[in-house]
Amino acid sequence: MPTISKKSTAMPASAIRKFVPLADAAKAAGTKVYHLNVGAPDIKSPKCALDAVVKKCGELDHISYTNSAGLMELRQGLVEKYYRKIGINIEVPEILIQVAGSEAFAVAMQLTCDEGDEIIVFEPFYTNYNTFAYLYGITLKAVHTDIHQDFALPPVEEMEKLVTPRTKAVLISNPSNPSGTLYSRKDLESIGELCRKHDLFLISDEVYREYCFTDEPHFSAINLPGLEQNVILVDSVSKRYNLCGARIGCVISHNKEVMAAAMKYAQSRLCPPVLGQYASIGALDTPQEYFDETVKEYIKRRDCAVDMLNAMPGVYAPRPKGAFYTIAELPVDNAESFVKWMLSEFRLDGATTMVTPVSSFYKTPGEGLNQVRIAYVLEVPELEKAMKILAAGLLAYPGRTL
């Protein structure tokens, strides 16, 4: 009997999705599960996006390949109708459509690093960065940020300590998944300084750009002066417009060498999903009010979640300024055991709540063991119910440390 590769055997399972079987079992047994574990919002997609797909499928008689870089109409539309409007000035050859943000950052990592090379990240960081780093033999070096300091960046000298001759890039998610931290222009400038000094790429994952809860606008890394050749922007169309399943993202850079190489990766998988590209073209006509409404809604949810969390004895959760996540520190021995216990043992009126343990979002061993990520992707009344269950669960949990 043949054996699978060592790489595949040792590959870590998704920290976010690995408890799905427990949730499925709970549901099969009749339990209602409140999902605060995945960033899968319940917000409606813009109607213009779905209408565009309906129209195209009515007109076309077959769905053929597109150019590997994506449909020109979509690339041009993004440049003119979206990026220009928000002050990101790029030309069509500087944008390439990807199979969602996932492909975009996976390609960016490969574009910058050979096996054995290193990328500086800020922990806690999106756990799939880890997965792809593992697959490509890249080492992630984590700058630690602390929940009790609102995950603020340390001074540039602290970050610089991680730079070695193998360091090729800095990878930041802004606003951050999983912490919701929004990095300021000043933060970006200090990271930019590091990249300029050491000739590093700056991979900026901005898929949550439209979900910022402050008055100052989001500052994109691509607008850092003097870093035109360093910055690779990772973006998601499907995340922005609540079309997560459409799987459309993009990679953007002023660096010609980066874009030429990105095209080779793009050609190897032929083309991005075409129906999702049609939805994305339609989504470009989304009115500003859509985002305004969405942000207003998320602020309500964030405040609901954060207020209720901090009212629970022994729980601490910062009030994030972006994305739709917050990290909470819980009075538990081990967040992973707690999550499992909630799914398999704890019920309140026939329901339970699912959250994500975040220890695997940290690189430093032992960090985040009592923390969970909460995606506030439910409407307030549902979110309240989910939080009440979490509160009750914390009181009943045998591994409670308070």
Footprint (CB under 8 A) of its own copies, residues 249-278 = 257-258, 261, 264-265, 267-276
Element (H, E) at 372: strand 371-375
Question: Considering only residues 30-69, where is the footprint of its own copies by CB under 8 A?
Answer: 38, 40-45, 49-51, 53-54, 57-58, 60-68
- Residue 8: which H helix or E strand, with range? helix 6-10
How far is the C-alpha of 224 from the C-alpha of 119, rounded, in Å? 20
Closest separation in Å from C-beta 279 to its own copies:
7
Q: How many residues bind its own copies (CB under 8 A)?
A: 87
User: What's the min distance (Å) between Cβ of 171 and its own copies?
Assistant: 13
Among 146, 199, 293, 345, binds its own copies (CB under 8 A): 199
The residues in 321-350 that bind its own copies, with binding defined as CB under 8 A, are none
| Residue from the set 26, 34, 78, 103 that interacts with its own copies by CB under 8 A | 103
Least Å distance, CB 371 to its own copies, is: 21
Strand partners, 316: 329
Q: Give me the least distance between CB of 193 and its own copies, in Å please.
A: 14
156 lies in the site for its own copies, by CB under 8 A: no
- Residue 357 has phi, psi (to 5 degrees) of -65, 145
Q: Supply the minimum distance, in Å, between the C-beta of residue 355 and its own copies.
A: 17
Backbone angles phi, psi at 253, to 5 degrees: -160, 145
Q: Which residue has the tokens 């949810």?
A: 301
Q: What's the rounded Cα separation, in Å, for the pair 143 and 166?
A: 16
203, two tokens: 């991979």
19 binds its own copies (CB under 8 A): no
Whose Cβ is closer to its own copies: residue 199's or residue 216's? 199
Torsion of CA 149, 299, 174, 70, to 10 degrees: 170
CA distances for 266 relative to 236, 335, 374, angstroms: 16, 39, 34
Q: Residue 204, interface with its own copies (CB under 8 A)?
A: no
Of the candidate residues 242, 286, 360, 370, the single one contacting its own copies (CB under 8 A) = 242
φ/ψ of 49, rounded to 5, equals: -70, -50
183 is an interface residue for its own copies by CB under 8 A: no
